[in-house]
Chain A
Amino acid sequence: MIGKTPVWVLPVVALVALIWIVPLIGLVMISIRPLAETTLGWWNLSEVSFTLEAWRTVWDKFPLAYATWVSTKIAVISTLIPMIMAPAAAYAFHFLSFPMRRVLLLIIVNAFVLPNQVVVIPLFLLWRDLGMIDNIWSVIIPFAGLSFAWSVFLVKNYLEDFPTDLIEAAQIDACGPIARFFYIVLPNMLTPIAAVAILQFMWTWNGLLLPVVFLREELPLPALLARVQGVYDNNFDQVAVAAIITTIVPLAIFVIFQRYFTAGAQTKTGSKE
Chain B
Amino acid sequence: MVEATTSTLDGPHGPSLGARVAARQLSQRRAAYILLAPLLIFFGVSVLYPVFETIRLSFFEIKGLAPPKPVGLGNYVKLWNDENFLRALRVTFYWSFSATFFSVAIGWALAMACALKPKETMIFRVLIFAAYGVSEAVVGFIWLGIYRPDYGLLNGILGGLGLEHLQQAWLGNPATALTAVIVAYVWTQVGLPLMTCFASIQSIPRSYFEAAYIDGAKPISMMRHIVMPLSLPGVRVAIFINLLQSLKAFDLIYMLTGGGPVRTTETVGFFMFRESMLNFKLGYGAASTVVLLVAVLIVSTPLIAQRTRAVK
Q: Which residues of A pack against B, CB within 8 Å? A: 1-6, 9-10, 12-14, 16-17, 20-24, 26-27, 30, 39-44, 81, 84-86, 88-89, 91-92, 96-99, 101-102, 104-126, 141-142, 144-146, 148, 152-153, 157, 174-179, 181, 202, 205-209, 212-213, 221-223, 225-226, 229, 236, 239-240, 243, 246-247, 250-251, 253-255, 258, 261-262, 265-266, 268-273
Contact = CB atoms under 8 A, between A and B. Distances in A.
A58 B276 CA distance: 34
A239 B290 CA distance: 36
Contact of A23 (B25, B187, B297): B187
16 contacts: A1-B209, A9-B114, A23-B145, A30-B145, A88-B36, A88-B38, A92-B32, A174-B4, A175-B1, A178-B35, A206-B134, A225-B137, A247-B134, A258-B129, A262-B196, A269-B306
A247 B142 CA distance: 12
A254 B28 CA distance: 38
Contacts of A146: 46-47
B137 A125 contact: no
Interface stretch (B76-84, B166-174, B243-251): B243-251
Interface of B: 1-4, 25, 27-29, 31-36, 38-40, 42-43, 45-51, 53-54, 57, 110, 113-117, 120-121, 123-138, 140-146, 151-153, 156, 187, 190, 192, 195-196, 199, 206, 209-210, 212-213, 218-219, 222, 233-234, 236-237, 240-241, 244, 247-248, 250-251, 254-255, 268-269, 272-273, 276-277, 282, 285-286, 289-290, 292-293, 296-297, 300, 303-304, 306-311
Contacts of A144: 42, 46
Contacts of B212: 2
B277 A265 contact: no
Given A2-B210, A112-B307, A153-B307, A178 B34 contact: yes
B306 A271 contact: yes
A271 B137 CA distance: 31
A10 B213 contact: no
A176 B2 contact: yes
Contact of B115 (A1, A92, A247): A1
Contacts of B34: 178
Q: Which of A27, A43, A142, A209 has the most CB of B within 10 A?
A: A209
Contact of B277 (A2, A213, A255): A213
A243 to B, nearest CB: 4
B306 A13 contact: no
Contact of A157 (B218, B293, B310): B310
B136 A261 contact: no
Interface SS majority for chain A: helix
A176 B76 CA distance: 53
Given A102-B311, A111-B47, A226-B255, A81 B42 contact: yes
A209 B250 contact: yes
B292 A115 contact: yes
Given A1-B209, A113-B303, A255-B133, A145 B46 contact: yes
Given A40-B151, A223-B137, A268 B35 contact: no
Contact of A114 (B47, B116, B310): B47
Nearest to A30: B145
Contacts of A112: 244, 303, 307
Given A145-B43, A255-B126, A179 B35 contact: no
B135 A206 contact: yes
A6 B110 CA distance: 14
Contact of B303 (A121, A247, A269): A269
B259 to A, nearest CB: 13
Contacts of B43: 108, 111, 145, 148
A246 B195 contact: no
B254 A14 contact: no
B195 A265 contact: yes
Contacts of A3: 209, 213, 218-219, 222
Contact of A41 (B31, B131, B153, B277): B153
A20 B133 contact: no
Given A13-B114, A146-B47, A258 B199 contact: no
Nearest to B3: A174
A251 B213 contact: no
A202 B129 CA distance: 14
B144 to A, nearest CB: 8
B39 A85 contact: yes
B146 A23 contact: yes
A119 B233 CA distance: 31
Contacts of B236: 271
B126 A262 contact: no
B292 A118 contact: yes
Contact of B29 (A98, A111, A120): A98
A226 B257 CA distance: 12
Contacts of A261: 195
Contacts of B255: 208, 226, 229
Nearest to B232: A273
A23 B307 contact: no
Contact of A176 (B31, B38, B113, B297): B31
A177 B310 contact: no
Given A4-B219, A118-B293, 9 more contacts: A42-B153, A96-B29, A110-B304, A118-B290, A121-B54, A125-B57, A209-B250, A226-B140, A254-B130
